[in-house]
Amino acid sequence: MFRILVINPGSTSTKLAIFEDENEVLNETVRHTSAEIEPFEKITDQYEFRKKVIENFLNKAGYPLSSFSAIIGRGGLLKPIPGGIYSVNEDMLKDLKSGKYGEHASNLGGLIAYELAKEVEIQSFIADPVVVDEMMDIARFSGHPDFPRKSIFHALNQKEIGRQLAEKLGKDYEDSNLIIVHMGGGISVGAHKKGKVVDVNNALDGDGPFTPERAGTLPLTGLIDLCYSGKYTLDEVKKLIKGKGGFVAYLNTNDGREVQEKIVKGDEKAKLIYSAMAFQVAKWIGKFAAAMNFEVDGIALTGGLAYDKDMMVPWISERVEFIAPVYTFPGGDEERALAMSAFRALKGVQKINTY
Ligand SMILES: Nc1ncnc2c1ncn2[C@@H]1O[C@H](COP(=O)(O)OP(=O)(O)OP(=O)(O)O)[C@@H](O)[C@H]1O
Ligand SMILES: CCCC(=O)O
C-alpha cells in the first residue's frame, strides 16, 4: 500500500489530504484570511507559515512523515511545460525559490513537498502545474507583440473536472468541447477543445473576471496613470491588483461566504459586487464559447465559489445555459488529481517527467 501526502497551497487556503492507494483517508482545508496573508511581502515568505499548517495537520492526524511513500505538492510558476507528473529536482527548486517565472502560492507546494520528503528520504513530485500550455496560436495575441497572452490557470483542477464533465455527458474528454470555470481565490475560464485547453485567461495577470482577491482586467489608461502617480511602489501596485483587488478592494474580505452573509443581512453594496462578479464570469464564458464557434457540449462551474448554489451558481447559469448545460463541481478535485498522479507514478504506470 502506498500512503501519499498531498499539499495544495491556494491563494486563500492550504488544502491537505492523505491517500492510501486510491482511497482518501483525510482531507482538510485550512483557510487563510487576507489579514493573515497580507503581512507576507513575497510568496516564499509564507514558507514557514504554510509548513507549520502542514505539520499541525500531520500531528493532529497522527501520521508520522516516515509513514508516507511519497509527497506531492501543487506547483507552481515554472517555465511552460506539458501536463503530467514531475519529480522535484534542483532546477525546479531554483525556479520556484527565485520566483523567476512569477510568484504564486502553489510555488510552495513543490518547495515544501521537497523539504519534508528529504527529511525521511522519500520522493517528492508536482503534477499539472499552473503553467500547462496548450493554447492555440491565434489565442496568443494580445494586441501588441511585446505582450503575448500566456496560459496560466488552474490546470490541475480544470483538467480533472473536464474529464468528470465529459463522463457525465457520456463522452470522452478528448472528444468534447467544454468550458470549465474555476472560481477560487483566482478565477480561470478555460476553453477545452477535444482535450486541449486552447484558450484561457491568465488568472494571475490582470486578465479575466475580478475574483475574491484580484482585480481581473482593468481599464489600461487608469492603471498607467496610477503607476506614474508617485503614490505607489511597484510592489504596492502589484499587490493592489493581486491580493488587494476584487472583493478585498470592494468589501475588505477575500471570503465569498462572508459576502453571502452580508447579502442575506440586506447589504445592497455586497449584493451588487457579488452579482458583478457573476456577470463578469458569464461574459468570459460567452467569450470562450465564441473561441469554440459556439460548439460547446457542457459548462462546468468549480472551485470554492461553486459551493454557492443560492446566488453565484444561478446568477451565472441563467446568463449562459442557452449555450450548453451547466454543471457544478463544488470545490473541485485537485487533491485526488494530485494523489492519483503520484499513485500511478509509484506503481510505475505513469512516466515521471524531468523538469
Ligand atoms: N460555500 C461557499 N460559498 C461561497 N463561497 C465559498 C464557499 N466556500 C468557499 N468559498 C469561497 O471560495 C473562495 C476560495 O475558493 P478555493 O478554495 O477554490 O480557492 P483557493 O484554493 O484558495 O485559491 P485558488 O483556487 O485560486 O488557488 C473563497 O473566497 C471562499 O470564501
Ligand atoms: C493561476 C491559477 C491559480 C490562481 O489563480 O491562483
- Kindly state the cell numbers that stand for 298: 457542457
Please check the confidence at residue 38 and state whether its pLDDT lies above 90: no
pLDDT at 46: 95
Per-residue burial over 86-97, b if 16 or more Cβ lie within 10 Å, else e, is bbbeeebbebbe
The CATH class of the 3-131+334-353 domain is: alpha beta
Q: What is the pLDDT of residues 98-119, one digit of tens each?
A: 999 998 999 999 999 999 999 9
Q: What is the pLDDT of residues 248-295, one digit of tens each?
A: 999 999 999 999 999 999 999 999 999 999 999 999 999 999 999 999
Helix/strand/coil percentages in the chain, nearest 5? 45, 20, 35
Mean pLDDT of 201-221: 96
- The answer to whether 3-131+334-353 and 157-324 have equal CATH topology is yes
Query: Above 0.90 for ipTM, yes or no?
Result: yes
Please check the confidence at residue 247 and state whether its pLDDT lies above 90: yes
Peptide bond into 76 cis (omega under 30): yes
Residue 212 Cα to ligand 1 midpoint, Å, equals 8
* Best of 13, 103, 204, 309 for a ligand 1 pocket test (most atoms within 8 Å of beta carbon): 13
Please check the confidence at residue 82 and state whether its pLDDT lies above 90: no
Closest residue by Cα to atom 20, ligand 1, is: 10
- Give the ligand with the smallest distance to the CA of 303: 1
Q: What is the pLDDT of residues 249-258, one digit of tens each?
A: 999 999 999 9
Closest residue by Cα to atom 5, ligand 2, is: 186
Distances in Å between the Cα of 165 and the Cα atoms of 80, 150, 354 are 26, 25, 30
Question: What percent of the chain lies above the pLDDT cut of 90?
Answer: 93
Please check the confidence at residue 83 and state whether its pLDDT lies above 90: no
Domain boundary assignment for the chain = 3-131+334-353, 157-324
Q: CB neighbours (10 Å) of residue 69?
A: 17
Please check the confidence at residue 84 and state whether its pLDDT lies above 90: no
Please check the confidence at residue 41 and state whether its pLDDT lies above 90: no
For 48, counting Cβ atoms within 10 Å of its Cβ (0-12 exposed, 13-18 middle, 19+ buried), the class is exposed
Mean pLDDT of 304-320: 98
Q: pTM of the full predicted structure?
A: 0.91
Closest residue by Cα to atom 8, ligand 1, is: 304
**81: pLDDT confidence band, cut at 50, 70 and 90?**
confident
Mean pLDDT of 206-221: 96
Residue 130 Cα to ligand 2 midpoint, Å, equals 7
Residue 34 Cα to ligand 1 midpoint, Å, equals 13
152 lines ligand 2 (CB under 6 A): yes
* Best of 12, 200, 248, 311 for a ligand 1 pocket test (most atoms within 8 Å of beta carbon): 12
The CATH class of the 157-324 domain is: alpha beta
Please check the confidence at residue 177 and state whether its pLDDT lies above 90: yes
**301: pLDDT confidence band, cut at 50, 70 and 90?**
very high
Mean residue pLDDT of the chain comes to 96
Residue 185 Cα to ligand 2 midpoint, Å, equals 7
pLDDT at 80: 87
Mean pLDDT of 324-346: 96
Closest residue by Cα to atom 4, ligand 2, is: 186
Please check the confidence at residue 21 and state whether its pLDDT lies above 90: yes
